[in-house]
Amino acid sequence: MENFDAVVIGAGHAGCEAGLALARTGNKTLLLTINLDAVAFLACNPSIGGTAKGQLVGEVDALGGEMGVNADKTVLQLRMLNSGKGPAVQSLRAQTDKVNYHNEMKKTLESCENLYLRQGEVVDIKCFDDGEKEVTTALGQVYHCKVIIFATGVYLKSRIIIGDYTKESGPNGFSSAQYLSNSLAALGIKLLRFKTGTPARINGRSIDYSVLDVQKGDENIQNFSFITKKRVKNRAVCYLTYTNEKTHKIIMDNIDKAPVYSGLIKGVGPRYCPSIETKVIRFADKDRHQLFLEPESLSTQEVYIQGFSTSMPVDVQEKMVHSVKGLEKAEIMRDSYAIEYDCIDPTQLNPTLELKTIKGLFFAGQINGTSGYEEAAAQGIIAGINASLQLRGKEEIVLKRSDGYIGVLIDDIVTKGTQEPYRMMTSRAEYRLLLRQDNADLRLTEIGRKVGLVSDERWKIYQKKRKNLEKIEKLMQKKYKIEEIKQLFQDNNENLPHDSISVRDMIKRSNIDAFKVNDYLHTFKGFTHEVINEQNIMIKYEGYLKQQEEDIKKFKKNEELLIDRDFDYKSCHGLRLEAIEKLEALRPISIGQASRISGVSPADIAVLTVLVKKFKEEKGNG
């Protein structure tokens, strides 16, 4: 029997961030995984980031996490999505090297002080009255600890489904965890059953790339991590093709063989990342769907078909693939499959990601009903930080919806729950113009430093950026005479001012930005692209940003009105019965969280606000 401060179960993207956060803040941490080859494994698309997900990676990085650092190390192709739209919806996305991503993260874990990486399947958990926990593996090893973080991904009682073939298995042929679900249920934890899937992998040598559209990466754009010193380079390209009427006919002719429609699949799948057969039925008016061909690694010929997830029988899969332009002779190397797994109802968690009913049990990642590597990493670092703070006897943190996408993600799942695998989207964030990827460090690095996770190196880089922003802000007041700016204005179809004009007022013009000012006038010589871009956004969107800041001030009033844990909703006169039941079940931590519970009306919140204030006054006087 060994003693640890913390045990993290699962070494996927949530488990890696949780384990590193605990160990880097001085806690003796055991990181258990069923298979060491599955550490930080990219089981589906070998990519990091994407719409809204890039923001999550930036926030994980700003807090002192590892995902962004590791993504920068292993990039094959980097793109800024929605670059033609406003900064609120722009997100970085990288096609990464699947093999290298795993290897680099495993190296990081192995070299981390206080972190012990161990292969083993957890089969039982025991919680004792004195707060101690006991973790038992299938081989009979017993570990004692004070806190446990469950980051089991899609491995709990997981089974893969291909046509009418099923097998108890985790992703990619890794073993599943068949016993831990029973232990969780014995602790009174409500379980759900969800489903996801992944497309086939094909041999790159068998693809006719000559007939496909090339998708190149972007050059000279920001990295994922704020501490990556060199600009990341593109090392590969992706390709675009489409399904067609023939593909759709094959699917419809065999729809009775699709497990999701035959009834073989019981779990609930993701609405925003459906199988190709679901897309064909749901969007029957469309005669084609986009498919991206993306390399898995420079060390393999395997190519991922993004957008072509299915659980059809293998003979049907082959016909489907061969019906696509450029894939007529494609050789399938790994068949597509669906996977069902157990997860928990996340409304059982506090916003700290700790279980409400048992102190010291934290949950992070897909076990909480979410989907995606980035959502997992975001929860992992918060669970790791809060478990560490609890071990050190410090107050735990809760990120608000106004603090970051991480705050939105966690608030959504613990307040509203989810009936399907939850995916982060920019539309979920009310203050998305303020919660951009480029300013994640300005928003969250100080929090990461306060909890002890931001290193001295990262802190120096952050402070330097702050100072440079102050310097560049002063340069915005500099004025130029008409003859100095004449060419700049004429080339960009802007009317000349009647008198000298400040840099700030130039940038406010529709056709001029900070980069054009710098190109013509060299005003910001010596400043990085990131600093110039930050200032440019703040000026271009100044009015909108001020409005969102005002909205946040109003929002925070309700967030800061906390509800005591012992507040008795059942004795509240004036609240509707439905509201009482919902509030009693979820036990919100603030009026703000209470207002976002389905079934609790604005009228209920008005009554509750008065009662909570009265309760606090009486408690204070008592």
CA atoms of 523 and 131, how far apart (whole Å) = 60
Would you say 353 and 362 are in contact if contact means Cβ atoms under 8 Å apart? yes
Strands (E), 280-322: 290-295, 302-306
Question: What tokens appear for 194 in the block?
Answer: 């969800």
For 61-94, give one letter per residue: b (16+ CB within 10 A) or e: bbbbbbbbbbbbbbbbbbbbbeeeeebbbbbbbb
> Can you state the angle between helices 13-24 and 98-110, rounded to 10 degrees?
20
Name 354's bridge partners. 362
* Interior angle at CA 102, CA 137 and CA 92, nearest 5: 125
Domains of the chain: 2-153+179-195+341-450 (3.50.50.60), 201-338 (2.40.30.260), 470-544 (1.10.10.1800), 561-621 (1.10.150.570)
pTM passes above 0.85: yes
Q: Which helix (H) or strand (E) holds 529?
A: helix 529-540
> What separation, in Å, do the N-terminal and C-terminal C-alpha atoms of the chain show?
48
Pairing relationship of beta strands 115-119 and 29-33 according to DSSP bridges: parallel
Would you say 569 and 577 are in contact if contact means Cβ atoms under 8 Å apart? no
Closest CA to 48 of 87, 74, 14: 74
What sign results for the dihedral spanned by CA atoms 537, 233, 215, 172?
A: negative
Helices (H) and strands (E) in the chain, counts: 21, 24
Q: Which residues of the chain have pLDDT under 70?
A: 267, 269-272, 621-622
Residue 385 has a pLDDT of: 98
Closest CA to 75 of 101, 108, 38: 101
* Interior angle at CA 135, CA 133 and CA 141, nearest 5: 135
Would you say 465 and 530 are in contact if contact means Cβ atoms under 8 Å apart? yes
Would you say 81 and 90 are in contact if contact means Cβ atoms under 8 Å apart? yes
Residue 565 has a pLDDT of: 86
CA atoms of 301 and 616, how far apart (whole Å) = 64
Give per-residue pLDDT as tens, 268-320: 766 667 889 989 988 889 999 999 999 999 999 999 999 999 999 999 999 99
